[in-house]
Chains A and B, each alone.
Chain A
Amino acid sequence: MLTKKTLKAATLGLALVGVAMGASANEVADYPSKPIQFLVAAGAGGGVDNFARVVRPMFEEAVGGARITVVNLPSASGALAHQRTANGAPDGHTLDFASTTYVTSLAAGQNPIGLDQLTPVARMQSDVMALFVNPERYPDFESFLEYAKENPGKVTVGGTHTASPDHVAFLSLRDASGLDMNFIPYDSTGNATANVLGGNIDATTTSLSPLLSYIEAGQMAPILIFSEERLDHYPDVPTTVEHGWDLTDGNDRAVFVHADTPTELVQHLEGVFQEIFASEEYQAYAERVNLDYREGWMGGEEYRQRLENNYELYSRLLQNGN
C-alpha cells in the first residue's frame, strides 16, 4: 500500500516536473499562444503611443501572426500600465511600452512598480536631450553661462511636469554645473516651447526631435547637447561631456515585461525586437520622426544596468531638487 502511494506521488511529481519543463521549452516555440496586449504607459497620440502603434504590425509579422490590442493607460504617469504588467501572467503576452518617465516617476515615488517587478526587454529609441534657447537672447552656451553666473536665481528654465525627463535633465545640469537656476513645469512640451519663443522664460531642457522645426526656422537653438560626442547635424554645439559633466541621458522608449517571465522567452522577445529594429521599415520610421541622431538600440540586460544607475542618480537629484 505504502509503496503504491509513494509510487503514485512520485509519478505525479515527475509528471509535474515534466509539465513545468515542457512549458518552459514550449513557451518560446508556442509564442504567441493567445492574444497579446501592448500597454502604453502614456496617452494616445504621443511619442510612446506612436512607437507602440508603429511597432505593432511589425511585431505581428515577426512572430508569425498574432492578435494584438493596444491599450493606453496614461493615468499616474503610466504607473497603471506598469502595475497591470507586473500583476499579470509572466508569459510575455503583456508588453509594457514606456519612456524614461518610468524611471523618473519611480525615483520621485509616484510609481510603485520597481525594477524588481519588471524586466526590460529592449530599448528602441533614445531621443537626445538638449538645452534650448531663443538665439536672439543667447547666441551660444557661453553667453548663457555668463548670464546665469552673474544673475543667480534669475534664470528660468521650462519643461514638462515635475519628475519628467525634462525636469530630471534640468536637475542634473544644475547639479553638475552648480548654476543657480529655477525650473518651471508646464503641462506639455508645447507650452514650454511657446514660453521660450515668447521670451517669457530663458530656456527649456527637452528632447531634440520635437523642436527641429524651430531650429530650422532659427527661432530656437540648442546650445548644449546632453551627449558624449557632438552631433553630426550640429557640429558647433558643445556637449555636456566637453564641459566635464557626465550627463548623456536621453528620453528613452523601451519595452518591459513581468519580472518572472522565463529568461528564454525574454531573450526570444529581445530577438524579435532586434529584428524589428534592424528592419528597413522601422529605420524609415525612425528617420521620419527624427530619432536617428544616435543609436536607439540597447539590449535588455544593458538597459537594466543603465536604469538602475539612473534610478539612484534621479532619486538623489529629486530629493535635493525643487
Chain B
Amino acid sequence: MLEHFLGGLAVVLQPLNLLLLTSAVFIGFIGGALPGISGVILVVILLPVTYGMEPTTAFMLLTAIYGATVFSGLITAILYRAPGTPEAVMTAFDGYPMTQQGQAGKALGIGVLSSAIGGLVGTVALIVFTPILASMALRFSSPEYFALAILGLTVVASLGGRLIYGLIGATLGLLIATVGIDPLTGTSRYTFDNLNLAEGVGLIPMIVGLFAISEVMKRALDQDSHQPLKKVRIKIFDLPILRQIGGTLTRSSLIGVITGILPGIGASTAAMVSYSEAVRWSKHPEKFGKGAPEGVAAPESANNAAAMGALVPLFALGIPGSGTTAVILGAFIMHGLQPGPMFMITSSDLIYAVFAGLFIVNFMILLFSKPFIALFTKLLNVPYSALGPLIVMCCIVGTYSVRNSMFDVWLMLGFGVLGYLLEKLKFPLVSIILGLVLGPIAESELRRTLSMSQGDLSILFTRPISATLLIVAFLLLAVAIVTPMVKRLRNRPAASSSSEQRSNP
C-alpha cells in the first residue's frame, strides 16, 4: 500500500500535475467562498473540460476542487456570516461573533488549521482503511441512521439559552423539513399545488437567507455599520490556542471521518454532529454561539474530514457518500470507469494518485489560504453601505444558480426577514438548522426501519449499533436535563449555609 501511495505521489509531483492541482485549489477556493456556488456545480462545469484529459489527471483535478471547496466556505461564514457552502453553516455560529469581537484573524487561523488537520485525518483514513471502513459502513442501515439523527437532535437540550426556545426552534426546523413530496408515499405535503415546493424547501435558500441576508438587514436597519477592526492578522499556528482546541480537533476529526463514510450522510451533517458534541463535552457550553474557538474548530475539522471520508464508499463500493461525490461518480462513468467493488484492484494506480493528490491539497490549503483570505479581509475596509448590497447580490446569484429557480431566490429573501425577526427575539438559529437537516433523516429512516421490520419497533434495539446509539442519546439527554436540576438543588443549601456562617461570626 505504501508502495502504491509513493507511486501515486510520484505522479502528483510531476510539474504539470502540480500546476493543475494548484489551479484546482484556487478554483475550489473561489467557488467555496461564494455563497451558493457549491462543489457540485464546479465539478459539473469542469467535467466537460476533463474529457480531453487522462482519467488520472481528470480525477486529481475534480477531487482537489472538491476538497478546496469544502475548506473555503468558512471564509465568508466567519467574516460576513454568509456561509459559502452548506458545510460551513455551523462555522458561522461562533466564527462570526469572533469577527464582531475583533478576532477575525484568530477565527480564520483556527478555521484554516482545523480544516487542514481534519482533511489530513480524513485523507489518511481514506488511504489506510478504505476497504475495511467501506464494509463496516454497509452495516449501517435505516435503524442506525435513525439513531444517529436522534443523537444529533438531543443536543438541543445541551445548547445554552432557554430550553423552550431551543425546542420551539428544533420543531420549526422539523416542520419546514416536512414540506414537499413525501419520498416514501409520494403524497404532497404543504406544497399548496406549487411545483416549486414539490422538492421541499432547499437547504441553500434557507441557510443563505437565515444567516447572510438577516445579517445584512440587521446591520442596515440597526445602523450598526461600524466595523471595529481594520487589520486582520491571520495566525495559523498558535500554540496556546492549539492546546485549547486540541481535544476538540481530535474528537471532531474522528466524528467527521466516521459520519462522512456513511453513505448518504454528507459533510454538513458531520459538521453539525461534531458541533453538537463539542457543546456537550465542553466545560463552558454557554460560551458557544458567542465566539468560542472550539465552535469554529469542531465543524471545520469535521466537515473536511467528512469530505474525505465520503470518498471511501465511492472508491471501495461505488456508492457516493454525499452530493458532490455522487457527481464525481457520474464523472467516473463518463470517463468509462466503473467504481465498485473491483475498482480498487482494477484502477489502483488512478486511485492512489488521487489519494496522493488529496494529501498534497491539504498542505496547499495551509500554504495558499492566507493570501487568498487576505483578498476577502481587505473587503472589510469597504464601507458596509457598499459591501452589504454586494453580499445580497452574491446571495441572489448563488441561490438562483443551484436549481435555476427564481422561486428559491424569493424564498431566500423571505427567510432573511424571518431570520432577522427570530434573532430580535433571541431565538437560537442553530436549533432550527438542526431540526431542518436531521429531521428528514430521522423521519424517513424511521419509516424505512418500520418497513424493514414489518412495523416492529424492537428492531431499533435488537441491532447492536442502533441500540448503542439510542442508549447513548438517552443518557446524554438525561444528563443534560438532570445536571442543572442537581446544581440548583446543591446551590440552594450551600447558599443558605454560607449565609448562615456569615451571619454567625
A257–B93 alpha-carbon span in the complex (Å): 47
Closest chain A residue, CB of each to CB of B138: A198
Closest chain A residue, CB of each to CB of B45: A44
Whether a CB of chain A sits under 8 angstroms from the CB of B404 is yes
On whether the beta carbons of B195 and A161 are closer than 8 Å, the reply is no
On whether the beta carbons of A73 and B340 are closer than 8 Å, the reply is no
Cβ contacts under 8 Å, B341 to chain A: 213-214, 217, 219
Closest chain A residue, CB of each to CB of B335: A288
On whether the beta carbons of A75 and B454 are closer than 8 Å, the reply is no
On whether the beta carbons of B403 and A200 are closer than 8 Å, the reply is no
Whether a CB of chain B sits under 8 angstroms from the CB of A191 is yes
On whether the beta carbons of B183 and A161 are closer than 8 Å, the reply is yes
Identify B327's interface contact among A45, A156, A214, A288, CB under 8 A. Answer: A45
On whether the beta carbons of B319 and A193 are closer than 8 Å, the reply is yes
Known: A161-B183, A184-B451. Contact between A213 and B343, CB under 8 A?
yes
Cβ contacts under 8 Å, B348 to chain A: none
Cβ contacts under 8 Å, A72 to chain B: 403-404
Whether a CB of chain A sits under 8 angstroms from the CB of B4 is no
Identify B186's interface contact among A162, A190, A213, CB under 8 A. Answer: A162
On whether the beta carbons of A45 and B331 are closer than 8 Å, the reply is yes
On whether the beta carbons of B139 and A198 are closer than 8 Å, the reply is yes
Whether a CB of chain A sits under 8 angstroms from the CB of B429 is no
Whether a CB of chain B sits under 8 angstroms from the CB of A185 is yes
On whether the beta carbons of A216 and B342 are closer than 8 Å, the reply is yes
Whether a CB of chain A sits under 8 angstroms from the CB of B313 is yes
Whether a CB of chain A sits under 8 angstroms from the CB of B17 is no
Q: Which of A25-79 contact B (CB under 8 A)?
A: 44-47, 49-50, 53-54, 71-77, 79
A110–B263 alpha-carbon span in the complex (Å): 28
On whether the beta carbons of B263 and A191 are closer than 8 Å, the reply is yes
Identify B319's interface contact among A108, A154, A191, A288, CB under 8 A. Answer: A191
Q: Which of B327-362 contact A (CB under 8 A)?
A: 327, 329-331, 333-334, 336, 338-343
Cβ contacts under 8 Å, B333 to chain A: 50, 210, 289
A288–B264 alpha-carbon span in the complex (Å): 27
A75–B263 alpha-carbon span in the complex (Å): 22
Cβ contacts under 8 Å, B319 to chain A: 190-191, 193-194
Known: A45-B40, A80-B195. Contact between A213 and B338, CB under 8 A?
yes
B181-222 interface code vs A (CB 8 A; 1 in, 0 out): 111111010000001101100000000000000000000000
A132-163 interface code vs B (CB 8 A; 1 in, 0 out): 00000000000000000000011010000111
A224-266 interface code vs B (CB 8 A; 1 in, 0 out): 0000000000000000000000000000000000000000000
Whether a CB of chain A sits under 8 angstroms from the CB of B110 is no
On whether the beta carbons of A162 and B330 are closer than 8 Å, the reply is no
Whether a CB of chain A sits under 8 angstroms from the CB of B293 is no
Identify A214's interface contact among B138, B183, B318, B334, CB under 8 A. Answer: B318
On whether the beta carbons of B330 and A75 are closer than 8 Å, the reply is no
Identify A188's interface contact among B139, B326, B339, CB under 8 A. Answer: B326
Whether a CB of chain A sits under 8 angstroms from the CB of B171 is no
Closest chain B residue, CB of each to CB of A196: B138
Whether a CB of chain B sits under 8 angstroms from the CB of A117 is no
On whether the beta carbons of B195 and A45 are closer than 8 Å, the reply is no
Cβ contacts under 8 Å, A201 to chain B: 452
A186-218 interface code vs B (CB 8 A; 1 in, 0 out): 111011011101101100000000101110110
Minimum Cβ distance to chain B for residue A75 (Å): 4
Whether a CB of chain A sits under 8 angstroms from the CB of B317 is yes
A242–B3 alpha-carbon span in the complex (Å): 51
On whether the beta carbons of A74 and B199 are closer than 8 Å, the reply is yes
On whether the beta carbons of A194 and B263 are closer than 8 Å, the reply is yes
Minimum Cβ distance to chain B for residue A303 (Å): 24
Whether a CB of chain B sits under 8 angstroms from the CB of A310 is no
Whether a CB of chain A sits under 8 angstroms from the CB of B133 is no
Minimum Cβ distance to chain B for residue A69 (Å): 10
On whether the beta carbons of B40 and A44 are closer than 8 Å, the reply is yes
Identify B44's interface contact among A45, A153, A184, A318, CB under 8 A. Answer: A45
Minimum Cβ distance to chain A for residue B185 (Å): 6
On whether the beta carbons of A75 and B403 are closer than 8 Å, the reply is yes
Whether a CB of chain B sits under 8 angstroms from the CB of A24 is no
Minimum Cβ distance to chain A for residue B50 (Å): 12
Whether a CB of chain B sits under 8 angstroms from the CB of A83 is yes
On whether the beta carbons of B185 and A217 are closer than 8 Å, the reply is no
Whether a CB of chain B sits under 8 angstroms from the CB of A6 is no
Cβ contacts under 8 Å, A290 to chain B: 338
Cβ contacts under 8 Å, A198 to chain B: 138-141
On whether the beta carbons of A212 and B338 are closer than 8 Å, the reply is yes
On whether the beta carbons of B452 and A110 are closer than 8 Å, the reply is no
On whether the beta carbons of B142 and A200 are closer than 8 Å, the reply is yes
Whether a CB of chain B sits under 8 angstroms from the CB of A182 is yes
Cβ contacts under 8 Å, A77 to chain B: 181, 198
A112–B191 alpha-carbon span in the complex (Å): 14
Minimum Cβ distance to chain B for residue A112 (Å): 8
On whether the beta carbons of A217 and B342 are closer than 8 Å, the reply is yes
On whether the beta carbons of A213 and B330 are closer than 8 Å, the reply is no
Cβ contacts under 8 Å, A3 to chain B: none
Q: Which of B134-151 contact A (CB under 8 A)?
A: 137-142
* Contacts A44-B327, A191-B263 known; 5 new A-B pairs at CB < 8 A: A75-B405, A188-B320, A194-B313, A213-B339, A217-B342
Name 28 interchain pairs, CB-CB below 8 A, sorted by A.
Answer: A44-B41, A45-B47, A45-B331, A46-B330, A72-B404, A75-B198, A75-B199, A76-B196, A77-B181, A77-B198, A108-B186, A110-B181, A154-B454, A161-B183, A162-B184, A182-B451, A182-B454, A184-B142, A185-B184, A186-B448, A188-B320, A191-B264, A197-B138, A216-B340, A217-B340, A288-B336, A290-B338, A322-B185
Binding site for B on A (CB under 8 A): 44-47, 49-50, 53-54, 71-77, 79-80, 83, 108, 110, 112, 153-154, 156, 161-163, 182, 184-188, 190-191, 193-195, 197-198, 200-201, 210, 212-214, 216-217, 219, 288-290, 318, 322
Binding site for A on B (CB under 8 A): 40-41, 43-44, 47-48, 137-142, 181-186, 188, 195-196, 198-199, 263-264, 313, 317-320, 326-327, 329-331, 333-334, 336, 338-343, 403-405, 444, 448, 451-452, 454
- List 7 A-B pairs, minimum CB-CB distance, nearest first: A213-B340, A45-B327, A76-B198, A198-B138, A217-B341, A162-B186, A200-B141
